[in-house]
Structure 1
Amino acid sequence: MINPIDALLAEKGVLLADGATGTNLFGMGLEAGEAPELWNETAPEKITALHQNFVDAGADIILTNSFGGTRHRLKLHHAQDRVHELNKRAAEIARAVADKAGRKVIVAGSVGPTGELLVPLGAMTYDEAVEAFAEQIKGLKEGGAEIAWIETMSAPDEAKAAAQAAIDAGMPYTYTVSFDTAGRSMMGLAPKDIHGVSEGLPQGPVGVGANCGVGASDILSSLLDMTEARPDATVIVKGNCGIPEFRGTEIHYSGTPELMADYVRLAVDSGAKIIGGCCGTSFEHLAAMRKALDGHHKGERPTVEAIVERIGPLRNKTADQSGGTGESAEARRERRRSRA
């Protein structure tokens, strides 16, 4: 397997991943409840614009518009028989933008959770999960994605199934988990244990880390745990743009470009090798993040207290403060599904 991440890291030291897909597509007219993946066919010019704006803002890695591209998620939109074509098209659109960038831009095939629970908590078996992810990843690979970017996972076994599918397809892979429940994932995984998710697989990841969650301070706290556990690992952090707030029926994010720029500096100092933005991160935010990354030299490793002082308070407990998962798994699952 060719690992494009290590090659670009060798050149640049730290890489900038893109920002929010959903938030920016909503700004382009996507309706609540509509599947973004269908826009790969019905509004490809808008997906092209999404990627182009992130490349123009300085992204080194762009994620395909395929987060909900498994048959399980597409079934909600009566498109479960179109997995291959929709994922292939997602990769083709991103590939076309990357190829004309004038510099190396990695196309990462976004692979999100199925929305199903694996046995014994649910009905889906591990092998069925591998099969579903394989169907998606094969389409992404055929369309030109260079890496399987497994993201926003909660269950270690589901992340491992997606990783197995990537290996079977002959693709390098990364995986990131959302530590949104008392400093842990919904299924109880602590940040320090992220590196063990792929244990036993024939091929290891080319990067692991965290994305989404609740806010920049919390994800930076998780980052400290991940990099302390494995200082040599390529660790990814792709945090939300501040804290989500409801204003009427719309969600707004509190993060300013200045806050996200400082988040980048703290992420570098905390040992991250790939830094990006998740929900709420606009093209303007990413441009500020690019400028901060280019102008920053790695400094002293921060404490959680220093992060809070600069970025704002934690919204959750840290993983070492709570052995439980707070809100019930089913309640958190339903809340996250509603905002996906």
Structure 2
Amino acid sequence: MARYRNALPQLTDRLFTTDGGLETTLIFHDGIELPAFAAFDLFSRPGGRERLRAYYDSYAALAHARRLGFILESPTWRANCDWGAQIGYDADALAASNRAAIDLMRELRDRYDSPETPMVISGDIGPRGDGYQIERKMSVAEAADYHGEQIRTFAATEADFVSAMTINYVEEAIGLVRAAADAQMPIVLSFTVETDGRLPSGQELRDAIQTVDGTAVVAPVYYMINCAHPTHFEHLFGAGEGWTRRIKGLRANASRRSHAELDNAPNLDDGDPAELGRQFAALRRACPGLNVVGGCCGTDFRHVQAICFACQSVDLAA
């Protein structure tokens, strides 16, 4: 079973990395069609598992070569029932895909894990609706019930924890945390923000984190920000307020565009990898507790490599 479930090694200030924008890499660089943005569908296609393995292998090898920890984030962001149903998956097929994803992460962990390069497995969970827009808010109870099935599936695998990514309103966040507590799974909660640093619901990130922590019987082990550019949220860390210490991870977009602009863009904006690395380094200098770094939409190996190099330079200079 899971190696780290009760003692996650990324809870120190040691630098961990993860992968980049899986779905945008597959679609725009590899020319692979992903209905509903569902990377997990590759497990049902000839050669799909091998393509996913090659994608993750490059990032895990980078972490191993740089002597960094690595978060193996499963390709299951869309592997919940509403999104699965759109492309023909029932509950049993979804559970099988979630298990297959963790099994692939286990294979990579067993290849690269070492005392110097701990490989930690995360069962990745996405929002019920669109990550950028709130189409219909669930109650806390609805969210706990909805996401509980996927979380329970991960709890029966070798996943060390679950990560809820691109969450855009607080009721779904609280429901996810409750479902994880019921399944006795550690959870990392990652909010997305707009260009002003607020959630798509309009709530301030500080208030969202404090609300979740204030209502949770078992709080998230830490928080992250994903699917936004550093220029959208870097101002949140400038005041040195205590709540920002609950944020340990960043998975940034390559583009400075807003969510609405990205939705309407005809092509991929991959930004400037070197600049993105410098922006991560600046955040790492300001907040040494920000130690889990990686990419989101539009990023690829180049961006994550630049982020790793820049953040390691900060650590070496400290």
TM-score range, shorter chain: 0.7 to 0.9
- Structure 2 distance, partners of 1:231, 1:132, is 29
| Secondary structure of 1:109 counterpart | strand
- Which of 209, 213, 217 matches 1:202? 217
- Structure 1 distance, partners of 2:136, 2:312, is 45
Please show how residues 287-298 of structure 1 align to structure 2 within 5 Å.
287-297=305-315
Cα contact 1:176–1:211 (8 A) shared by 2: yes
Q: Which residue is 1:70 aligned to? A: 80
Matched, 1:153 2:170: no
Paired residue type of 2:155 = K
What is the RMSD of the two structures over their aligned residues, measured on CA atoms? 2.7
Q: Which residue is 1:80 aligned to? A: 90
- Which of 129, 134, 153 matches 2:143? 129
- Structure 1 gaps of 5+ residues are 301-340
Paired residue type of 1:144 = E
- Structure 1 distance, partners of 2:207, 2:149, is 28
Please show how residues 177-188 of structure 1 align to structure 2 within 5 Å.
177-180=191-194, 182-188=196-202
| Secondary structure of 1:199 counterpart | helix
Q: Which residue is 1:109 aligned to? A: 123
Q: What CA deviation, in whole Å up to 9, does each residue of 1:147-206 have, x standing for no partner?
A: 110110111010111111111111111101111164311112212224222322211111
Distance 1:102 1:181, change over 3 A: closer
Distance 1:78 1:175, change over 3 A: same
- Which of 230, 233, 236 matches 2:246? 233
Cα contact 2:237–2:244 (8 A) shared by 1: no
Distance 1:234 1:222, change over 3 A: closer
Q: Which residue is 2:110 aligned to? A: 99
Q: What CA deviation, in whole Å up to 9, does each residue of 1:212-256 have, x standing for no partner?
A: 12x22113234446x62425434222111133588x974322422
Q: TM-score, normalised by structure 1?
A: 0.77
Greater RCO (CA < 8 Å, at least 6 residues apart): 2
- Structure 1 distance, partners of 2:310, 2:185, is 31
Q: TM-score, normalised by structure 2?
A: 0.82
Paired residue type of 2:21 = A
Q: Which residue is 2:59 aligned to? A: 54
Q: Which residue is 1:2 aligned to? A: 5
Q: How far did 1:262 drift? A: 0.3
Cα contact 1:89–1:143 (8 A) shared by 2: no
| Secondary structure of 2:219 counterpart | coil
Q: What CA deviation, in whole Å up to 9, does each residue of 1:64-121 have, x standing for no partner?
A: 000011101111112132221111111111121122114311111111100189xxx8
- Structure 2 gaps of 5+ residues are 64-68
| Secondary structure of 2:268 counterpart | strand
| Secondary structure of 1:187 counterpart | coil
Matched, 1:193 2:207: yes
Distance 1:243 1:174, change over 3 A: same
| Secondary structure of 1:253 counterpart | coil
Q: How far did 1:297 drift? A: 3.3
Paired residue type of 1:87 = N
Cα contact 2:230–2:280 (8 A) shared by 1: no
Paired residue type of 1:63 = E
